[in-house]
Structures are given as structure tokens and as C-alpha cells.
């Protein structure tokens, strides 16, 4: 047999955006030019895949020269920078994900890799002569120094398209390609800066210095709600613009951030680029490309924006850094707040973590000197912080069948009488979280999840908030068949609305929940109605806690302050404190009228309630730290969870048990579980959990890799690895 002919070209590594073990080898034919970071098209099995030329990764078995397949083409797009390639490698190694799965997040708009189409327009032909009418003269004037599309010419000159076509037919104008307009106008650093107060100026100066130094740094910007944290970090954004570097702002709920966006535009004279999951594919393409070409000076986005191809990133802001929305729980499981710090290090950039209620993790990092710490202790406008009081529901029970205690009803009555706005907060959508049969005790449950079905009375349906399963509310119990026997147990926001409709029939009411405020337009409209006092009483879920600024809102009532404390999650207390503090911070934001916050609770002596009433967050965090440190709970130790799931309950249980038997042992390492997950059935999959706890000095990744390599995982079982878990369901 003849030896295979040696073909020309060199061997390169290509990482594909697929969950494969590592990069694959290909041959780059001599007529193609590509280096590390180039986007290329390569054959994969019987199809063509996009990929990125990767660096010299170790590959267990480089394939033989003779079997190398050829790169098909190189994409006309800026190469992926080494910084972003290192981030992909880093996140993959940290989260134990295949590098290709992380790469996919950095290639979120494949069509952006094509050459953007240049639009065609018309330009003057110099020296051409023909009859000139007044209409034709107007067109020629407009085209004196521009190339423009026909429709735009006609509009600007006030003539019909016929005039434009006529000029073309006599040879006075000709088709030409237009220069692409910048997709995003440049925000202007000094467009309308506020006069910062002394304490704000000090904080801003500290951030500016690091931006100017072009060195890596992390700063915790901590300040009470309404103290001007946003103004201060926008000053750092302005400095970053002056440096000519790009800035990235991560917001937890970008779809609800219309007030923030309007403010940005007032401050900088231009809107920022946006990045979130609801963009059209065209906007994604244009934005991704503009970022890659350095033409999007400021971008605000959801956590996925962290993987955009900024060529020169100088600043990353993580606003509301304590928010769980920064955790991605599917696919590559990662916490964007922590990965933002990693990216800042790779980019020699400043990362600012912003919060009124920073996480214990971040506070500890600041205390230990790993992060710088700047604080804004007072509210702007001399507005005082709201006065928080607990209502003990044991002493002040609501009337039968109601959920608002008399002191809260009284406070709402007085607030409305003064012509001010009130808000009732309950973090539960729908009418009632549980529907029960009075006759047989049956509870209406989701067939796919370990969860009760939530009644949505307006739609006459029962809904699972985990998998989306819905069914019409039955007239008779599905178990015993008794008619009119199903009763709602407990309140959701719809039920509170029903109660206030009876109590305050003339108040204008608005529900704010993810199902009534589905997107940016609805959010903007709700905010406008509240700002312009078309609403007296707001009833909302956690979406009302986001950074809204409602100047006429003076009373916040928390219907069930104990709600988040059940469940025994490691951070349940911390979370509840943060959420309630954030909700409370909506009250009394304008100087004139101080805010009042009333917490309905069965346990006013709980440390969370005590800290809120005494306005003592540092004290609360200190107590939290004292509780977590001895057992090496985060941030004084490390956690990683394994979530074992299968459609077959026996497979899931057996695999979890096998993992338990193979569990690592050793100094400073402990494995808890396996145990059925609190959500033991989710979307039809049976779930078990194991939790690895390690002392702070131990790297958990090698321990996890060893562990997983020792266990036999059958094909019908999935094991998800969650390093630094945030949720424990
Ligand atoms: P935070 O982000 O800490 O909640 P904001 O930055 O939203 O606080 O500030 C609260 C309100 O006070 C906003 O309406 C903001 O525009 C205003 N504000 C804060 N600082 C100043 C300032 N120096 N000059 C003018 N307005 C300010
Ligand atoms: Zn379900």
C-alpha cells in the first residue's frame, strides 16, 4: 500500500463550542492565515463546525498526521483575545466543565463572525453633466460630501424616489458602498456629571485612581440604599471612557432596569449597549461585533455579558453583588460575580462590587484586605433611612381569612389619606401557594416536581412554578371527587390584592410580579404610572425590591417577613435580611417624607428581624460569621455539590449511593449525603445530592475530579457539579 502523501500546512489546535474533552487537531492549509484566537470552520464528523484556534493545550493522543482533517475557512472576524481564551480555560477548570461548553458562552452570536454587510447608497459622479431641475439640485446638494441610501436622500431632499432614480439614469449619481455607521454612539464622559457630595467624591476618587492605574483591583462599594452608589460608579465609568477602555456593568435584572437606562442616558448623553437573553438575533449580532471591534464603549448586561469579546476592558461593575441572579444554575454552573473578579484580573482592570447589603463572602474578602472597601454612610438629599418596625402576628393577628394585621391596615389607611403611596411586599406569585381538599386532605401537587401547584385565580389555573406545568383549577377534588371542597391555603399577591380591594376600594392598585410585568416595556410603564402618581397601592413580589426610585412611596409593608427563613439553607438568614433591607430601601427616598417599614412576623426575636429593626447589618454579619467559621462553612471553607438525577428513581438512588461509597476522605474534607434533594423530583427527574465541604486552604477541583473518576456513572444518570453552590434545592 502506498504511504499517504504528506500534505502541506501546519498542525493547529481548534477548540469547538461543544461539550467535548478538549481541543481537536486540524491541518491549516498554507493558503489560509490563522493564529491563536482565529475563528475557523472545520469538518467534524459529517458536518461543519465553527471553532477557535486554541493554544498549545496538552492532548492525550494527538492524532496521526495522515488522519488530520483540514481547516475549511477562516472567519472574517477579530480573533478572540488571549485574555478571553484564558477566562474560558479558567472557568472550565474551576467549574469542572468541558472547555468547549464555556467557549460556547463566548460564541453566543455565530452570525457576528461573518463580514457585516455594507449597505449600498448613492454618491455624486464628479464632472458628469445633465439637465438640473430644482429637485435634482436639492439631491445633489445633499450628496455633496455623503453617500446615502436612496430613501434617506428622498426624505432629506423632500423629493420622490423617482427623482433619485432619474439622476441615476442620466449618470449624475452612481451606486456606492457606504461606510458602516457606528452601532453605538459614544457616551460622553463629561456630558452631565452630578456634583458629588464629599463622601461620594472620596469614594469616586478611590475608584478613579485604580481605573487610571490600569492595574487589577477589586473594590467593594458599600452604601445604604439611596446614598448615591450608582452616581459614584458611573463616575468610574466616565474615567474608563476617558482612558479609552471599555466598561461593563452587570445588573441582576436587566429587563427591569428602565429607570437605570434612562439615568445613564441623561448622565452620558447616549445609551449604553445592552446584552441579555431577550435581544433579537440581529441586535445580538450587531452588539457582539461592536464589542469585538471596540465600538461599544459601555455595555450593560446580564451575567452572560461577562463572556463578550471586549478587546480592552478597563472596568467591570457588579451592581447588587449579593444577588443570586448572578448564579447560572444550568449548563456551566458559575457565579458571575466571582468570575467577574477573575476576568478583571486577566484584563488588568478594576472590578467594583456594589451593594447596600454585601454578601458575607465579599465583606470577608474586604476585611482580609483582598478587596479595597469604600463606603457611603448617608442618604442623598438628607433623606433619612426608613424606620423599620416589626408587627408581632401573635399579638396582632389579622382577622379570620385575612392576611394584613390591624396595625398594617391602619398604616396603609393613614398613608393613603396623606396622598402618599404604599407598597405591600409578598414574595409569592399567584393567588394561593397551596390548594387543599377540605374533605380528604388531598394537596394539589405537580406531577413532574416535588412541589405544590400554585393557584392563579385570574387565569383559573393551577401552575407549577418549577416546570411550568399548568392545569385548569378543578371543580371537584381529583382524589375523592367531592365538589366545591378545594380551598386555597395561604396568600399570594393576587389574594392580597383581593383583600386590599375590599379594604381600600378607592385606592388605585397595581400588582408587580414577573407574570404581570413580563418585560422591559411593561416595567417602564409600571414605573411611569407610579412616578406620576397614577397608582396609590403597589402589591409586589421580589421584583419590587430591585433598584427602583419611587419618590412618593413612604410606606412598605412586608406581608410575610418569615417566608425566606424556612428551608434551612446555609444563607437563608442572610438572603432574607438582604431582600427585606432592599425592599425597605424603596421607602422614603426623597428628603421630605421619611419612610416607614412594617414587618409582619411570627418571630420578631429572630436575629434577622432584630438586625433589620436596629439597622445593624454589620452586627448581623458578625453573628453570621461567628456561626459559620467553626464548622468551616463558606466563606471560611469551601463547598461543592453533586446533583445526581435520572428519570429512573432507582438509577438515581443507586448512582448517588455509589458516589457516597467512593467519597473522598482526608484531613479537612467531609462529605455530607447522599440524600434525596429537597426538590426530589424536578421536571420528571429524580434527584439526590451530595455535598463536599473542605477547609479553605484545600482546592476542591482535584478532589472532585478524583472522586468522579472513581465512580461508575450509568448512562441514564446525570451528575452536575456545582462548585460554590448558592442554592441547595
Ligand atoms: P444608590 O445607588 O446608592 O441607591 P443612587 O445613586 O440611586 O443611590 O442615588 C439616589 C438618588 O439620589 C438618585 O435619584 C440620584 O440621582 C440622587 N443623587 C445621588 N447623588 C447625587 C448627587 N451627588 N447629585 C445629585 N443627585 C444625586
Ligand atoms: Zn412541576
- Please give the torsion angle defined by the CA atoms of residues 150, 154, 157 and 158, in that order, rounded to the nearest 10 degrees: 180
Q: Averaged over 625-629, what is the pLDDT?
A: 94
Checking if the pLDDT of 376 tops 70, the result is: yes
Least confident of 162-166, 557-561, 565-569, 697-701: 565-569
Helix residue ranges per DSSP H, 585-699: 607-614, 617-628, 649-661
Closest to 625 measured CA to CA, from 365, 322, 325, 351: 365
Q: How far apart are the first and last CA of the chain?
A: 61
Q: Please give the helix or strand (H or E) that residue 88 lies within, else none.
A: helix 82-95
pLDDT of residue 420: 94
DSSP 180: P
Check if the beta carbon of residue 39 is closer than 8 Å to that of residue 74.
yes
Calculate the CA 178 to chain-centre distance. Answer: 37
pLDDT of residue 59: 56
Place 450 in a pLDDT band, splitting at 50, 70 and 90: very high
Top mutation candidate among 195, 199, 231 for ligand 1, by most atoms within 8 Å of CB: 231
Check if the beta carbon of residue 43 is closer than 8 Å to that of residue 72.
yes
Distance CA 88, CA 584 (A): 39
User: Is any ligand 1 atom within 6 A of the Cβ of residue 635?
Assistant: no
Higher pLDDT, 517 or 344: 344
Query: Helix, strand, or coil here: 609?
Result: helix
pLDDT of residue 123: 87
Higher pLDDT, 389 or 592: 389
Top mutation candidate among 232, 380, 385, 548 for ligand 1, by most atoms within 8 Å of CB: 380
| Fold (CATH) for 198-381 | Rossmann fold (3.40.50)
pLDDT digits (tens, 9 = 90+) for 293-303: 999 999 999 99
411-433-673 Cα angle (round to 5):
115
Distance CA 194, CA 211 (A): 19
pLDDT of residue 2: 44
pLDDT of residue 433: 94
User: Is any ligand 1 atom within 6 A of the Cβ of residue 193?
Assistant: no
User: Is any ligand 1 atom within 6 A of the Cβ of residue 502?
Assistant: no
439 CA to middle of ligand 2, Å? 25
pTM recorded for the entire structure: 0.89
User: Is any ligand 1 atom within 6 A of the Cβ of residue 226?
Assistant: yes
Same topology between domain 198-381 and domain 386-428+491-625: yes
358-364-366 Cα angle (round to 5):
80
Closest to 523 measured CA to CA, from 533, 510, 536: 510
Distance CA 437, CA 435 (A): 7
What are the beta bridge partners of residue 540? 425, 512
Architecture of the domain spanning 632-723: 2-Layer Sandwich (3.30)
Query: Helix, strand, or coil here: 331?
Result: coil
Place 181 in a pLDDT band, splitting at 50, 70 and 90: low
Checking if the pLDDT of 722 tops 90, the result is: yes
| Fold (CATH) for 386-428+491-625 | Rossmann fold (3.40.50)
What residue ranges do the domains of the chain occupy?
A: 11-107, 120-177, 198-381, 386-428+491-625, 632-723
pLDDT of residue 146: 77
CATH of 11-107, one of 3.40.1440.60, 3.40.50.300, 3.40.1030.10, 3.40.30.10: 3.40.1440.60
Top mutation candidate among 226, 236, 258, 320 for ligand 1, by most atoms within 8 Å of CB: 226
pLDDT digits (tens, 9 = 90+) for 288-345: 999 999 999 999 999 999 999 999 999 999 999 999 999 999 999 999 999 999 999 9
Quote the percentage of the chain above a pLDDT of 90: 76
231 CA to middle of ligand 1, Å? 6
User: Is any ligand 1 atom within 6 A of the Cβ of residue 195?
Assistant: yes
Place 228 in a pLDDT band, splitting at 50, 70 and 90: very high
Amino acid at each position: 500500500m502506498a504511504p499517504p502523501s504528506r500534505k502541506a500546512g501546519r498542525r493547529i489546535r481548534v477548540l469547538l463550542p461543544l461539550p467535548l474533552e478538549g481541543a481537536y487537531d486540524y491541518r491549516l492549509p498554507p493558503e489560509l492565515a490563522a493564529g491563536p484566537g482565529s475563528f475557523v470552520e472545520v469538518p467534524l464528523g459529517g458536518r461543519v463546525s465553527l471553532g477557535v484556534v486554541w493554544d498549545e493545550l496538552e492532548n492525550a493522543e494527538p492524532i496521526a498526521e495522515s488522519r488530520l482533517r483540514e481547516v475549511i475557512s477562516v472567519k472574517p472576524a477579530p480573533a478572540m483575545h488571549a485574555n478571553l481564551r484564558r477566562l474560558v480555560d479558567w472557568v472550565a477548570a474551576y467549574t469542572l466543565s468541558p472547555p468547549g461548553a464555556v467557549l460556547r458562552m463566548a460564541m453566543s452570536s455565530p452570525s457576528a463572525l461573518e463580514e457585516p454587510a455594507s449597505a449600498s447608497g448613492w454618491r455624486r459622479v464628479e464632472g458628469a453633466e445633465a439637465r438640473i431641475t430644482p429637485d435634482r439640485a436639492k439631491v445633489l446638494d445633499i450628496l455633496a460630501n455623503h453617500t446615502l441610501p436612496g430613501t434617506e436622500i428622498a426624505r432629506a431632499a423632500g423629493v420622490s424616489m423617482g427623482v433619485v432614480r432619474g439622476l441615476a439614469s442620466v449618470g449624475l449619481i452612481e451606486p456606492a458602498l457606504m461606510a458602516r455607521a457606528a452601532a453605538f454612539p459614544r457616551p460622553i464622559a463629561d456630558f452631565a456629571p452630578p456634583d458629588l457630595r464629599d463622601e461620594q467624591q472620596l469614594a469616586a476618587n478611590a475608584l478613579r485612581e485604580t481605573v487610571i492605574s490600569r492595574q487589577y483591583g477589586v473594590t467593594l462599594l458599600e452604601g445604604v440604599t439611596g446614598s448615591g452608589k450608582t452616581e459614584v460608579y458611573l463616575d468610574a465609568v466616565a474615567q474608563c471612557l476617558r482612558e479609552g477602555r471599555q466598561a461593563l456593568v452587570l445588573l441582576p435584572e436587566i429587563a427591569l432596569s428602565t429607570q437605570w437606562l434612562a439615568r445613564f442616558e441623561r448622565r452620558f448623553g447616549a445609551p449604553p449597549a445592552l446584552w441579555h437573553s431577550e435581544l433579537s438575533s440581529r441586535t445580538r449580532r450587531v452588539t457582539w461585533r461592536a464589542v469585538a471591534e471596540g465600538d461599544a464603549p459601555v455595555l450593560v448586561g446580564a451575567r452572560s455579558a461577562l463572556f463578550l469579546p471586549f478587546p480592552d476592558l478597563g472596568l467591570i461593575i457588579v451592581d447588587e453583588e449579593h444577588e443570586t441572579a448572578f448564579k447560572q444554575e444550568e449548563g456551566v454552573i458559575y457565579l458571575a460575580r466571582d468570575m467577574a473578579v477573575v476576568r478583571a484580573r486577566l484584563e488588568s482592570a478594576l472590578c467594583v462590587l456594589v451593594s447596600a447589603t454585601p454578601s458575607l463572602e465579599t465583606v470577608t474578602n474586604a476585611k482580609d484586605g483582598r478587596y479595597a472597601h469604600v463606603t457611603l454612610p448617608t442618604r442623598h438629599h438628607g433623606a433619612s433611612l426608613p424606620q423599620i418596625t416589626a408587627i408581632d402576628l401573635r399579638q396582632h393577628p389579622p382577622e379570620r381569612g385575612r392576611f394584613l394585621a390591624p396595625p398594617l391596615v391602619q398604616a396603609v389607611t393613614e398613608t393613603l389619606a396623606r396622598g402618599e403611596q404604599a407598597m405591600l411586599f409578598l414574595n409569592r406569585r399567584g393567588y394561593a401557594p397551596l390548594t387543599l381538599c377540605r374533605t380528604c386532605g388531598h394537596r394539589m401537587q405537580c406531577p413532574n416536581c416535588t412541589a405544590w401547584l400554585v393557584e392563579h385565580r385570574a387565569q383559573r389555573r393551577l401552575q407549577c412554578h418549577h416546570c411550568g406545568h399548568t392545569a385548569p383549577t378543578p371543580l371537584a377534588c381529583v382524589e375523592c371527587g367531592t365538589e366545591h371542597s378545594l380551598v386555597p391555603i395561604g396568600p399570594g399577591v393576587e389574594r392580597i390584592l383581593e383583600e386590599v380591594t375590599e379594604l381600600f376600594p378607592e385606592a388605585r392598585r397595581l400588582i408587580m410580579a414577573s407574570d404581570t410585568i413580563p418585560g422591559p416595556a411593561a416595567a417602564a410603564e409600571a414605573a411611569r404610572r407610579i412616578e406620576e402618581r397614577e397608582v396609590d397601592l403597589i402589591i409586589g413580589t421580589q421584583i419590587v425590591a430591585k433598584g427602583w426610585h419611587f419618590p412618593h412611596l413612604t410606606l412598605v409593608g412586608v406581608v410575610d417577613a418569615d417566608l425566606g427563613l424556612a428551608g434551612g439553607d446555609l444563607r437563608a438568614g442572610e438572603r432574607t435580611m438582604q431582600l427585606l433591607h432592599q425592599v425597605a430601601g424603596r421607602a422614603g427616598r426623597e428628603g421630605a417624607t421619611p419612610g416607614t417599614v412594617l414587618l409582619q412576623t411570627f418571630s420578631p426575636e429572630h436575629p434577622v428581624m432584630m438586625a433589620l429593626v436596629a439597622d445593624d447589618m454589620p452586627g448581623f454579619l458578625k453573628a453570621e460569621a461567628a456561626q459559620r467559621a467553626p464548622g468551616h462553612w463558606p466563606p471560611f471553607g469551601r463547598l461543592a455539590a453533586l446533583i445526581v438525577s435520572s428519570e429512573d428513581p432507582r438509577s438515581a438512588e443507586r448512582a448517588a449511593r455509589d458516589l457516597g461509597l467512593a467519597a473522598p476522605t482526608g484531613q479537612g474534607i467531609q462529605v455530607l449525603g447522599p440524600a434525596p434533594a429537597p426538590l426530589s423530583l424536578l421536571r420528571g427527574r429524580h434527584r439526590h445530592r451530595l455535598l463536599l465541604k473542605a477547609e479553605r486552604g484545600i482546592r476542591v477541583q482535584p478532589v472532585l475530579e478524583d472522586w468522579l473518576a472513581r465512580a461508575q456513572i450509568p448512562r441514564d444518570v446525570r451528575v452536575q457539579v456545582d462548585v460554590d453552590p448558592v442554592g441547595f434545592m
